[in-house]
């Protein structure tokens, strides 16, 4: 037998299959793409925990503060206002007097749709939480060896971290014991962030009953409750509540070819063809799960990173901060695009306020970066913070550093093609999330208010 011929045959077959998949969009999403369905008791527990401010040091912030059902599971802001702010979405303020926020959160709060799909093995814009079978816990994370065993999946690992952040949920040093532990980097143990929060939950009888129901073979008494059990329940809720795979695009992929109009089908062809979107927004969830530098504007307080000659920490090197590899500078994770019309603002710093603007950026990234219009930024003002928010965008040399790392090629589309592409992106909306009020509980076991 001629092995060479067989290989060539296979190669041709493989190219044809890939090309076809490219033209017609990816394979449809199925139940098997997601983690196994958790019990109702676990999901119900996760739902109240997600909305309960008891998990924050000063009992004033919940996960939902930045990932609310009424704001597309994000917060509708370029950059979140965590601990100390008041209000939800675009009505949120930066607080006042001694309670005012300490600083803005440096990155956009992403939506939480479809993160219960197993292919999301990496979390955060820079991927600092990831599945890693070489670790005892099964994951790499900023907690290193402090991360407990027994976390169900990367989504559960992620849920361990917002409570450890001073700006997001813990509060500032001196304000409460959780904040003090967080400031000292003590996460595990009874006096660590997670132990202190577990103690709060153990003291609320309604929570004890809910934990027992969610973990019948594991939790018998209040003392058995660990924070990782809360994180696993939160992940179970997120997985179940925000599975969004019934958009018109999904129905089209499952065989109902009438779900897309002619205009939308042309947009889809552009997405997977001429406009080259599908090269990074690939696969069933329209992400290659990889990291790319696409010259996104940098606004806000930054992640403490500095190009040569600067020391204000206002930049965000993205993936480089995790890998230590300078080739990863300004690379961020490719976002999934389901429900993208519901999740403005866009980009790792939320710099673009509309879908049109972020797509135009993709068509001509360098021009778009240089001509970036800061007036579109949607976040509550605070005089003593504002002035600093655009220092990178006001500095041509620093913008040039971002441009030099850009990997995204420009694409020429006329206005008709642009409109088609946008109309396709709207077919990715799962209409059940146009009204997501049922995913908000009417009360939480701590008795704390649900108002943000």
Q: How far is the CB of 12 from ligand HEC (least distance, A)?
A: 26
* Closest CB to ligand HEC among residues 355, 391: 355
Q: How far apart are CA 50 and CA 61, in angstroms?
A: 10
Report the run of H or E that residue 139 belongs to, with start and end: strand 139-140
Q: How far is the CB of 67 from ligand HEC (least distance, A)?
A: 5
Report the run of H or E that residue 18 belongs to, with start and end: helix 3-24
CB 160 within 8 A of CB 231: yes
Give the interface with ligand HEC as residue ranges (CB under 6 A). 55, 61, 63, 65-67, 80, 82, 105, 107, 109-110, 112, 115, 123-126, 155, 158-159, 162-163, 168-169, 234, 275-277, 279-281, 292, 294, 296, 332, 334-335, 337, 340, 343, 346-348, 355, 358-359, 362, 407-408, 411, 421
Is the C-alpha dihedral spanning 420, 67, 81, 167 positive or negative? negative
Mapped onto helix, strand or coil, the DSSP state of residue 130 is: strand
Report the run of H or E that residue 205 belongs to, with start and end: helix 205-214
Q: How far is the CB of 430 from ligand HEC (least distance, A)?
A: 15
* Closest CB to ligand HEC among residues 275, 379: 275
CA dihedral 337, 343, 345, 346 (to 10 degrees): -10
* Closest CB to ligand HEC among residues 158, 226: 158
Q: How far is the CB of 189 from ligand HEC (least distance, A)?
A: 20
Q: How far apart are CA 219 and CA 208, in angstroms?
A: 9
Q: How far is the CB of 29 from ligand HEC (least distance, A)?
A: 17
> For helices 227-241 and 205-214, what crossing angle results, to 10°?
70
* Closest CB to ligand HEC among residues 212, 300: 300
Q: How far is the CB of 108 from ligand HEC (least distance, A)?
A: 6
* Closest CB to ligand HEC among residues 255, 349: 349
* Closest CB to ligand HEC among residues 123, 236: 123
* Closest CB to ligand HEC among residues 13, 274: 274
Q: How far is the CB of 361 from ligand HEC (least distance, A)?
A: 8
Q: How far apart are CA 123 and CA 429, in angstroms?
A: 22
CB 233 within 8 A of CB 226: no
Q: How far is the CB of 415 from ligand HEC (least distance, A)?
A: 14
Q: How far is the CB of 238 from ligand HEC (least distance, A)?
A: 6
CB 181 within 8 A of CB 191: yes
Residue 410 tokens, joined: 């420009």
* Closest CB to ligand HEC among residues 5, 412: 412
**Residue whose pair of structure tokens reads 């979107």 in the numeric block:** 277
Mapped onto helix, strand or coil, the DSSP state of residue 117 is: strand
Residue 301 tokens, joined: 């307080």
* Closest CB to ligand HEC among residues 216, 274: 274
Q: How far is the CB of 28 from ligand HEC (least distance, A)?
A: 20
Q: 393-401, long-range: CB within 8 Å, 24+ apart, which pairs?
A: 393/297, 393/298, 393/299, 397/307, 398/298, 398/307, 398/310, 398/315, 399/369, 399/370, 401/307, 401/315, 401/330
Query: On the CB side of 234, how many CA atoms lie within 13 Å of its CA?
Result: 26
Residue 448 tokens, joined: 């704390």
Q: How far is the CB of 213 from ligand HEC (least distance, A)?
A: 20
* Closest CB to ligand HEC among residues 57, 219: 57
DSSP 242: T
Neighbours of 281 (CB within 10 A): 20
* Closest CB to ligand HEC among residues 63, 88: 63
């Amino acid at each position: 037998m001629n092995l060479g011929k067989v290989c060539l045959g296979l190669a041709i077959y493989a190219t044809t299959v890939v090309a076809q998949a490219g033209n017609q969009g990816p394979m449809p999403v199925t139940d098997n793409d997601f983690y196994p369905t958790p019990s109702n008791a676990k999901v119900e527990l996760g739902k109240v925990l997600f909305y309960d401010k008891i998990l924050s040091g000063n009992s004033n912030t919940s996960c939902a503060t930045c990932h609310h059902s009424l704001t597309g599971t994000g917060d509708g802001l370029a950059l979140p206002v965590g601990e100390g702010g008041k209000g939800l979405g675009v009505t949120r303020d930066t607080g006042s007097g001694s309670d005012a926020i300490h600083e803005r959160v440096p990155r956009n709060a992403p939506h939480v749709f479809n993160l219960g799909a197993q292919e999301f093995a990496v979390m955060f814009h820079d991927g600092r939480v990831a599945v890693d079978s070489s670790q005892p816990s099964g994951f790499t994370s900023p907690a290193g060896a402090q991360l407990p065993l027994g976390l169900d999946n990367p989504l559960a690992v992620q849920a361990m971290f917002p409570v450890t952040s001073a700006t997001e949920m813990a509060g500032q040093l001196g304000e409460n014991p959780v904040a003090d532990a967080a400031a000292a980097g003590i996460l595990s143990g009874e006096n660590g962030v997670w132990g202190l929060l577990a103690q709060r939950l153990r003291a609320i009888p309604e929570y004890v009953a809910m934990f027992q129901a969610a973990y019948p073979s594991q939790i018998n008494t209040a003392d058995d409750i660990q924070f990782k059990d809360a994180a696993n329940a939160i992940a179970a809720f997120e997985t179940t509540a925000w599975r969004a795979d019934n958009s018109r695009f999904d129905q089209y992929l499952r065989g109902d070819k009438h779900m897309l109009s002619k205009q939308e089908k042309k947009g889809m062809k552009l997405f997977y063809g001429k406009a080259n979107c599908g090269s990074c927004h690939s696969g069933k969830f329209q992400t290659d799960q990889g990291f790319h530098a696409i010259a996104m504007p940098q606004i806000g307080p930054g992640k403490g990173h500095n190009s040569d000659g600067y020391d204000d920490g206002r930049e965000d090197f993205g993936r480089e901060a995790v890998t230590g590899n300078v080739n990863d500078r300004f690379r961020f994770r490719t976002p999934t695009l389901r429900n993208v019309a519901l999740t403005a603002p866009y980009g790792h710093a939320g710099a673009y306020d509309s879908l049109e603007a972020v797509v135009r950026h993709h068509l001509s990234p360098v021009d778009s970066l240089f001509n970036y219009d800061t007036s579109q930024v949607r976040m509550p003002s605070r005089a003593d913070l504002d002035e600093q928010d655009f220092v990178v965008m006001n500095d041509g040399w620093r913008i040039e550093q971002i441009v030099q790392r850009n990997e995204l090629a420009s694409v020429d589309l006329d206005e008709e093609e642009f409109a088609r592409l946008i109309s396709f992106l709207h077919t990715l909306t799962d209409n059940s999330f146009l009204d997501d009020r049922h995913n908000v509980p009417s009360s939480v076991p701590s008795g704390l208010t649900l108002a943000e």
